[in-house]
A and B are shown apart, each in its own frame.
Chain A
Amino acid sequence: MIAAIFGKRRAAQQTSQDADYYTAGQFALIKARFMKKTVGLIAGSVLMGLVLLGLFAPFFSPVDPTINGADSDYRRGAPQPVLFWDDNGFSWRPFTYTYAKEQPKIDFGALLQSGNLDALDQLTSSGALDASTQNKFTVDKEARRYLQFFVKDWEYTILKIDTFGIDWRWDRHLFGVATGKIHILGTDEDGKDVFSRTLHALWITISIAIVALIVKLFMSLLVGGVSGYFGGKVDTILMAITEAVRVIPPIPIYLACAVALAQIDLTPVQRYFAIAVVIGALDFAALGRRLRTHILVERNQDYVLAAQLAGASHMRVIWRHLVPSFGSYIIVDTLINFPYVILAETSLSFLGLGLTEPVNSLGVLLQKAQDPDIQQNMIWQFFPVAVFVLLIMAFVFVGDALRDAADPYSERNK
């Protein structure tokens, strides 16, 4: 019975496929072409996964990434692996061990007693004060801590819009443990959970890129649109400026702006937006130029002339013909530019001029990778680097596939 229904549906789908294609609009066509690209699809799902992880970071994080959630008993702690079995047998429920801080055994008594420098020398050379050994943890393999799901922990905001009085809060998390905290990727020197920090940083970085790209789009549209539509002297002047901006390397300019921002007293949120706006606003040259060319080309297409001859007003020509003609183009270009904007943000933060601690952004977390102490003793803090590379790669591959899919006349040229 069910098979029969599905069989029928499949047959119906077959016949309607052609009709679907013919009545498919611009975006549906791009989607259809994109769906044929395996690499793009894989990268797309990775990207979606990362964005979702970032968007619902509090839910996926087992530990509060702020200083409130810092685990003072587990500073500089190594990752706590999640296991299904060990020497003591197999368990359906994943578990982790109990970690306890090893107290440095400094024999103050002996130190006081002898009163000479030999004991002090002994203490220093024993390594008890060494960075690498001062936080040794003992693993208690007998004390399994089982993972629990949908646990209740710190409360977080899902959505908050003051104007509508919306303030949705929740306190459930995907997983956690009953006693203590679980640090599946270890902790940093303050005892903050690396995994949770990375998840939160993901969304901050992506959202900064979104804001920057919106600003960039606005600027590009303004410059490219005005230049392309009005032409003449306005065009010449705007293009001369654009050309000059294109010549100057952007990162030093961002730096200068960031330094200028640093002297203004800003809250972290304002600072965050200011950085995004700076990155976006100064990056109009390339897209602006291309939009201008696009408008110039599109303006001379026969269908625009046809609309003008049909008595359409300027506004109608712009809104019904010109704007839709670069709509898909803009979206594709924006997606392709995501990695570069993210790189700009991370570069700034890396130099300590973008976002700074305690804000979680990938750039802030990457900055730590510079520290020789971390390089030598806390290699797990390189996890954000891996996530970062994965994110950029996913964006690059999706952008590539999308660029191929969006070429509106690719079918005609075959």
Chain B
Amino acid sequence: MTQFLAQTWLLWILLIAAGTLTLLGRTSQYFHYVRNRFLMALVGLLTVSLIVFSLMEVLPGDCAEKYIAYKSTQGETITQADIDAERARMGLDQPFAVRWGSWVANLTLNGDLGFSCAKRQPVNLALGDRFWLSFMFCIAGLMLSYLIAVPFGILSAYVLNKPWADRNPQHTTARRLLNTLGLGLAKALDVVLRIISYLGLALPNFLLALSIILLYVFAGESAPTGLFSDAWRNEPWFAEQGFQWGKLNDFLGHIWLPIFVIGWSATALQLQTVRALVVDESNKLYVDAARARGVRGLSLWARYPVRHSISPLFNSVGFDFQRVFNDLPIVAVVIGLTDAAALLIEALAMTNDQELAAGILFLVALVVISMNFITDIVLAAVDPRVRKSVLGH
């Protein structure tokens, strides 16, 4: 019994979730929407798995060949018959649909992503914590980009329709000068930020990483590549004298580089998005109406255009994650990381490890789809505009 449960735990969780949502959806329109959205997410995942799985078919070689090739290095002589027998044993002679079906079935039953032949261990084991490491990189990079992009995007939107100088003939000369100074500073800051953000678009991540490494080279220091410096790489986190703060320190000294690199280009795009969203909202009549009621200054901007552009921004978190992860593999190569992204490159470009690559790609898609699902249901609960469009009231 316990074994049966252990082998099918994920399926039960999914079924219970769907069942609960269906039950709740009978009485609540919101949960009905959540259930539909949940089912849509599952269908999306199924489609993704199909795409990923068929993509992996184009990679050269298969598990049997790799396994046999490994055996041959052990000194055994191999014939084509051996390979075919191995294929039949692994089920690789089955048609594509059957193999895909069994992969999906294993995945839904207990979250098993398959067996990596190149690494000769299950994909779940091979990945280990590395996926979480990549995940944290992306999230940290995203956080960084939001931290920069949101305030400065708002500033950029604020100064967009402002002139460089105050030329209002109604103002006194002193006031005009003062206002011009303020406007000039804000505008100049905006221009600088926009140039930086354009640079972020134009300078691909790997070039940025290279440039930073190059700066270290010029300065005559060793660049903080990898995750740890040599001294700490093999030290455990917990030694006899307790937690090793030095290792943490070393770790932090290294991970800022990938986070900064992937954060920058994300910032560039994010800055433009925030700016466009806020400008859009700030041109709407209700902002003028609020101003006419006496709302002004910071509270006007915070409560009206900014507050109303948060939802669409929040809504795009999933795809932002996808975009950031997309850049991560190349950065990982340049900086010499050992996370899932580096593993992905290794699996694709070097070892042709279909199972591992498919697993990683599927996990990324899983994260994106889950994020989209969560943002959608949160927004439907929180934002009345979204609620109106999806629930119809």
Q: Do chains A and B touch in the complex (CB under 8 A)?
A: yes
Chain B residue at minimal CB-CB distance from A342: B204
- B201 to A339, Cβ gap below 8 A? yes
- Tally the A-B contacts, defined by beta carbons under 8 Å: 116
A226 at the interface (CB under 8 A from B): no
* Interfacial chain A residues near B369, Cβ < 8 Å: 247
**Chain A nearest Cβ from B379, distance in angstroms:** 18
- B202 to A393, Cβ gap below 8 A? yes
**Chain A nearest Cβ from B199, distance in angstroms:** 8
Chain A residue at minimal CB-CB distance from B368: A247
**Chain A nearest Cβ from B160, distance in angstroms:** 12
- B51 to A249, Cβ gap below 8 A? no
- With A244-B47, A259-B60 already in contact, the answer to whether A396 and B198 are too (CB < 8 A) is yes
B59 contact from A240, A260, A376, Cβ within 8 A: A260
Chain B residue at minimal CB-CB distance from A397: B198
- B330 to A350, Cβ gap below 8 A? yes
Binds A, one of B18-26, B124-132, B319-327: B319-327
Binary contact track A225-266/B, C-beta < 8 Å → 1, others 0 = 000000000000000110111111111110111011001000
B329 contact from A247, A251, A257, A339, Cβ within 8 A: A251
The B interface is mostly helix, strand or loop, or mixed, namely helix
Within 8 A of B (CB), among A44-59: none
* Count class of interface residues, chain B: 35 or more
Binary contact track B327-344/A, C-beta < 8 Å → 1, others 0 = 101100110000000001
- With A244-B44, A260-B58, A393-B202 already in contact, the answer to whether A252 and B344 are too (CB < 8 A) is yes
- A376 to B201, Cβ gap below 8 A? no
* Interfacial chain B residues near A245, Cβ < 8 Å: 51
- A351 to B349, Cβ gap below 8 A? yes
**Chain B nearest Cβ from A408, distance in angstroms:** 18
* Interfacial chain B residues near A366, Cβ < 8 Å: 206-207
A256 contact from B58, B203, B330, Cβ within 8 A: B58
**Chain B nearest Cβ from A256, distance in angstroms:** 5
B345 at the interface (CB under 8 A from A): yes
7 new A-B contacts, CB < 8 A, other than A248-B365, A252-B344, A388-B207, are A245-B51, A247-B368, A248-B361, A252-B361, A259-B348, A351-B333, A389-B199
Enumerate chain A interface residues (CB-CB to B < 8 A).
240-241, 243-253, 255-257, 259-260, 263, 339, 343, 346-347, 350-353, 366, 369-370, 372, 375-376, 385, 388-389, 392-393, 396-397
Contacts A/B (CB < 8 Å), 25 sampled: A240-B47, A244-B50, A247-B369, A252-B326, A252-B361, A253-B361, A255-B329, A255-B345, A255-B348, A255-B349, A256-B56, A256-B348, A259-B348, A260-B58, A260-B59, A263-B60, A350-B206, A353-B349, A366-B207, A370-B206, A389-B202, A392-B202, A392-B203, A396-B198, A397-B198
